[in-house]
Amino acid sequence: MEQQTPEFVAYAIDQHCALRGGKKPWHPLQAERQLRPLREFCKASSTGWFREGICWNPADVVGEIDGVEIPAGFAATPMFDAYGGQEWVQEMCRDCPACAIRFSHAPPIAGCFGQIAAVETLHAMFDDLISRRPDADSLNRLFLDTRPRWYGFWSHSPLTTAQQQAHLDVFSALDMLHTDPQYRHWCDTLRSALTSGLPVHVLLVPPGRVEGRTWTISPSCGRCGAVRTSAAQSCSGCGVRGYFIPARRRLAMGRRPFRDLRAEYGAARLRQLLWNEP
């Protein structure tokens, strides 16, 4: 079954860390793939979905037991063991200047990366907000001129200090900041980067689709990231011609690290774990 993926921005603070590896440890998507299990533990702990040593994802229902929905989950201890142990991981992240969630989550783990999904109305909201700002002219000089303005804000990576501050000023004024944690985390990331002087890498990922294990990203402009259908046409976002990135295929993330635990634990044990039944 095909699943559509929205346009989104991935970001990561560039900080040397033993929990990251590979050729591009600063790359936002690589950081997400490497640290996602740790972040999911942090989220589950903060929302009350870490129970009896298992992290649960209530948004990912894998089936039912006696008419009650069963979410996907994963055991925390073996996950931490793969990183070197929970105590060591928490010590690494606790005082790390790149851990942007250290003031809002307990325990603060893997707070150095994140994603922002571009909801349908965000482009128009962003344009309207910037047009009403008294510093609109200075923003024009800081970022690539695009239509909508959203694309220009992500066309340079890593962000300069001035660009980080401009991002923080604009995003702090968005109404969604008060209702959507992904925008709050982006602002916390910017504050951490500005305080510590660390670079922030950003990557705008065009919409795509997932079929099985394959994630296909739509063709896009290599300059601003807006979707394009042909190398010959001018980009609708920045007007450039020829700078064309064809469709790309990646391995889909799926629900990792969450999985269906019904076969592993059985119905009776899951009832105990989820609902404290004897």
Write out the H or E segment, with its range, that includes residue 29: helix 28-47
Model confidence pLDDT, tens digit, residues 34-91: 999 999 999 899 888 998 899 999 999 998 887 788 999 999 999 999 999 999 999 9
Residue 106 pLDDT? 72
- The answer, yes or no, to whether residue 278 has pLDDT greater than 60, is no
pTM of the model: 0.92
**Mean pLDDT to the nearest integer, 180-199:** 93
Model confidence pLDDT, tens digit, residues 108-128: 899 999 999 988 788 998 999
Residue 69 pLDDT? 86
Model confidence pLDDT, tens digit, residues 193-250: 999 999 999 999 999 999 988 999 999 999 999 999 888 899 999 999 989 999 999 9
**Mean pLDDT to the nearest integer, 23-35:** 91
What's the CA gap between 103 and 123, in Å, rounded? 30
For residue 208, list its beta bridge partners.
Answer: 5, 217
Q: Which residue has the higher pLDDT, 105 or 185?
A: 185
What's the CA gap between 240 and 108, in Å, rounded? 42
Model confidence pLDDT, tens digit, residues 4-15: 999 999 999 999
Burial level of 76, CB count in 10 A (0-12/13-18/19+)? buried
Q: How confident is the model at residue 277 (pLDDT cuts 50, 70, 90)?
A: low
**Mean pLDDT to the nearest integer, 166-175:** 90
The closest of 1, 2, 28, 33 to 15, measured between CA atoms, is: 28
Residue 136 pLDDT? 87
The closest of 157, 156, 145, 168 to 235, measured between CA atoms, is: 145
What's the CA gap between 106 and 93, in Å, rounded? 11
Number of domains in the chain: 1
Q: List the domain range (segments joined by +) for residue 212.
A: 2-275
